Amino acid sequence: MDTKEGTKGFNLKLLVLEDSRHDFELVKEQLIDAGYVLDLTHVDRESDFIASLREDKFDIILSDFNLPGFNAFEALRICNDICPEVPFVCISGSIGEEVATDLLKNGAVDYVLKDRPERLPYAVKRALDEAFEKQAYKKAVKALQESENRFKQVAENAKEWIWEVDNDGLFTYSSPVVRSIIGYTEEEI
């Protein structure tokens, strides 16, 4: 997979929680090299992180694991409270497999080791794709629920009998007006 072709010119509003200027520049360089056009917010303290999340909307959040008096678990918890729909990726110099698994269980989308920075664009693209799919699914579910509610209102208020049968000819739905038309309840039909 060539991330540069898949991300070339893609505008990315990014919040980076990182206390090392060098590591922040490395993250920035990896994403620019992958073709992203970045709108970056860089913070290195919990208070600035929370303020940024409350003031702005981001496409993705990248977080160092260890910060002074603060860590990725706490950052993830805050993200889950303030903006649970935004993908969270942890970037760490020395995260163990067990800790990484715990982060994923708590809602992080991925983690990247700092000694493998070339993996970052792939993790970002995958996280964004997953967030897009979740958003599309939620929209589809909402549209379906709205459609079902409209149908139910129409069917319950119609003067005509509305019904549905399955392939075996068994009634799967009958509108309430059936009682006044043929004398049976919906359940009896």
pLDDT tens by residue, 88-113? 999 987 777 888 888 889 989 988 88
Distance between CA 172 and CA 84 in Å, rounded? 38
Contacts within 8 Å (CB) and 24+ apart, 100-107 = 102/73, 103/72, 103/73, 103/76, 106/73, 106/76, 106/77, 106/80, 107/76, 107/79, 107/80
Element containing residue 111 per DSSP (H, E): strand 110-113
pLDDT of residue 8: 60
pLDDT of residue 113: 84
pTM: predicted TM-score of the whole model, two decimal places: 0.72
pLDDT of residue 1: 43
